[in-house]
Structure 1
Amino acid sequence: TGGIYDLDYWVIPKGTPNKDAALKFIAFASTPDAQAEYARNIAYGPTNNKALAKLDAKVLANLPTAPANSKTALQFDLKFWADQGEELEKRFASWAAQ
């Protein structure tokens, strides 16, 4: 079975007064330990591959970034949804209203 995965990003707005704290948070959130703990509580796949080694097979089975699952996964197509999303949303709303 395959799945669809999407990517999220951490950003720090230019001119933020808490830049150092934001950098520390991103550094912490990117560690294998933090990502493994997060994955144990919600099935979001770690982006740090070293986190995968810290997880048991039961947790790995539910993660999109586990090697067995990522082999058949497709990346969410942002361009498609940017180009087609509004029209498809209208069509879906029309269908759902019937």
Structure 2
Amino acid sequence: MKFNKKIFNLSAWITLLIAYVLPYQSQSSDGHSTYLGYPLSFLTINNTPIYKTLFMTESIDIFTLTIDILIVYFVMHFANVYLSKVKLNKGMNKTKDFK
């Protein structure tokens, strides 16, 4: 399997964007934090007073973020390989008809 930088970059951006679109768990059991990320939650936002900045209330789990990026990368990579094979097979079928 060959490493594709373009697919990896795209999967990293998709993972970060999905975190804000699809929350994993909306509230914790204590009701003071929100967990975001898909398929695993890697971003925690704590409910704090208004005078604190957003960066002071967030925490990111880098290990889980890396796993999420790799999951999205492998899904995109295998979909790309599968679609390439299907496209190649369709092209080969068309050339057989002309012979």
Asked if TM exceeds 0.5, the reply is: no
Higher Cα Rg: structure 1 or 2?
2
TM-score by length of 1: 0.27
Structure (1 or 2) with the greater helix fraction: 2
Bigger relative CO (Cα 8 Å, ≥ 6 apart):
1
Structure (1 or 2) with the greater strand fraction: 2
TM-score by length of 2: 0.27
